[in-house]
């Protein structure tokens, strides 16, 4: 058993993931399109989990709402555009390492995970310890005592998802200099947007709001 971050998969993400597997297994010509759809649903799920849903838990100001809306728009557009640009011409044979990556992350519903599917990836013991500490502090209504820890942990979590969920598949595909540069810019923009939300929103939350905020994420850390 190891510590993992497990992102709950909604029906759209589950269906698109299994559609991609099915297309590859049957050597269909639309495998690339199925993969692009899967990543779009994964992006939507992550954006909802980390940007849209938390905003509904806190009494954010008009300025904070604009920051969140900008982050949502930036991350969504960048991911969709780049995924299509990178993967639209990938053959089924070239998809082999991508399929392996996705199967490693996909955690189908079973008794092991209370019959709920997830996209999961391992994290270090050090990150898990900090995440638990931040979650427990907020659960006790003392999040404001170390809001810097909460902010850092959530920033690290966003970085891990970018690095360990979205980027590994791009590293298995050959791409030109222009596409690689566009990917780097897109990733950097998405990362900065999410960190901007953390920095601007978290520091202004009350202990009660921090409790709700981290309570929203506490269950993401699991054992697999």
Give the domain extent around 175.
3-223
Put residue 2 in one of left, alpha, beta given phi > 0 → left and psi -120 to 50 → alpha: beta
- Of the segments 52-61, 94-103, 204-213, which one has the largest average pLDDT value? 94-103
pLDDT band at residue 57 under the 50/70/90 scheme: low
pLDDT band at residue 103 under the 50/70/90 scheme: very high
Q: What does the pLDDT look like over 17-49, one tens digit per residue?
A: 999 999 999 999 999 999 999 999 998 898 888
Render the burial of 17-52: b for 16+ CB within 10 Å, e for the rest: bebbbebbeeeeeebbbbbbbbbbbbbbbbbebbbe
Asked if residues 121 and 4 have their Cβ atoms less than 8 Å apart, the reply is yes
Question: For residue 96, what pLDDT is reported?
Answer: 95
Question: For residue 129, what pLDDT is reported?
Answer: 97
Q: What is the pTM of this model?
A: 0.87
Question: For residue 76, what pLDDT is reported?
Answer: 74
Task: Retrieve residue 64's tokens.
Answer: 């904070």
Q: What does the pLDDT look like over 144-170, one tens digit per residue?
A: 999 999 999 999 998 999 899 989 999
* Strand-strand pairing, 221-223 and 106-107: unpaired
pLDDT band at residue 79 under the 50/70/90 scheme: confident
Give the number of other CB atoms < 10 A from CB of residue 211: 20
The count of domains in the chain is 1
pLDDT band at residue 65 under the 50/70/90 scheme: confident
The DSSP annotation for 100-126 comes to: HHHHHHEE-SSGGGTT--EEEEE--HH
Rounded Cα distance between 156 and 140, Å, is: 22
pLDDT band at residue 58 under the 50/70/90 scheme: low
Q: Give the mean pLDDT of the chain.
A: 89
CA atoms within 13 A on the CB side of 207: 10
Task: Classify residue 157 by burial, with Cβ atoms within 10 Å: 0-12, 13-18, 19+.
Answer: buried
Question: For residue 13, what pLDDT is reported?
Answer: 96
DSSP letter, residue 10: P
Rounded Cα distance between 49 and 38, Å, is: 16
* Percent of the residues in the chain that have a pLDDT greater than 90, as a whole number: 59
Residue 77 has pLDDT above 80, yes or no: no
Give the number of other CB atoms < 10 A from CB of residue 96: 12
Task: Retrieve residue 166's tokens.
Answer: 């979205």
Task: Retrieve residue 115's tokens.
Answer: 């019959």
In the block, which residue shows the tokens 């850092």? 152
Residue 78 has pLDDT above 80, yes or no: no
């Amino acid at each position: 058993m190891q510590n993992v971050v497990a992102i709950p998969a909604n029906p759209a993400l589950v269906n698109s993931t299994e559609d991609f597997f099915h297309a590859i297994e049957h050597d269909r010509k639309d495998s690339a399109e199925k993969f692009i759809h899967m990543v779009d649903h994964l992006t939507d799920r992550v954006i909802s989990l980390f940007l849209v849903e938390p905003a509904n838990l806190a009494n954010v100001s008009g300025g904070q709402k604009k920051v969140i809306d900008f982050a949502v728009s930036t991350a969504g557009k960048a991911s969709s555009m780049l995924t299509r640009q990178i993967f639209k011409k990938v053959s089924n044979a070239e998809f082999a390492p991508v399929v392996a990556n996705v199967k490693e992350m996909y955690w189908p519903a079973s008794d092991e995970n209370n019959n709920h599917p997830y996209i999961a990836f391992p994290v270090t013991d050090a990150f898990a310890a900090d995440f638990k500490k931040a979650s427990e502090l907020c659960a006790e209504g003392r999040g404001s005592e170390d809001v810097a820890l909460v902010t850092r942990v959530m920033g690290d979590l966003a970085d891990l998802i970018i690095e360990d969920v979205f980027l590994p598949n791009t590293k298995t595909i050959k791409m030109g200099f222009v596409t690689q540069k566009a990917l780097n810019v897109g990733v950097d923009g998405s990362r900065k947007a999410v960190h901007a939300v953390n920095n601007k929103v978290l520091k202004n939350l009350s202990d009660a709001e921090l409790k709700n905020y981290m309570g929203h994420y506490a269950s993401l850390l699991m054992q697999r």
